[in-house]
């Protein structure tokens, strides 16, 4: 089956085809995954960091979304490389817009 594995506000996402690996219950990651909590991200990063990390992406760049900064998430490229036995990458999508409430 086809699926999508999202990155973060400033990274791409992946369209994948599941390999049906029974050792992993025919599943895969559902995203990059957080490296730090929302509270820690707010303590660690500021609005200028958010602007730098989301350069080239049309999105909110204010204190209300600093907890979603790309640096708060694991490296999606590494996450994808660690699940070659779970999914086949069909397409890599480039982030151009991100909508946060």
Q: Hunting for tokens 């029974």 — which residue is that?
A: 22
- How does 13-40 read in b/e, with b if 16+ C-beta sit within 10 Å? bbebeeeeeeeeeeebbebbeeebeeee
How many CB atoms lie under 10 A from the CB of residue 65? 17
User: Could you say which of 30, 35, 51, 92 is catalytic?
Assistant: 30
Q: Hunting for tokens 């204190």 — which residue is that?
A: 63
CA distance 4 to 57: 19
Catalytic status, residue 92: no
Q: Which residues are catalytic?
A: 30
């Amino acid at each position: 089956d086809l699926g999508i594995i999202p990155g973060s506000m400033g990274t791409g996402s992946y369209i994948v085809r599941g390999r049906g690996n029974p050792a992993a219950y025919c599943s895969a990651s559902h995203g990059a995954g957080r490296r730090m909590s929302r509270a820690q991200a707010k303590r660690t990063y500021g609005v200028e960091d958010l602007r730098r990390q989301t350069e080239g992406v049309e999105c909110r760049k204010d204190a209300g979304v600093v907890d979603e900064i790309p640096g708060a998430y694991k490296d999606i490229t590494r996450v994808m490389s660690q699940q070659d036995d779970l999914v086949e990458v069909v397409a890599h999508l480039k982030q151009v817009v991100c909508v946060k409430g």
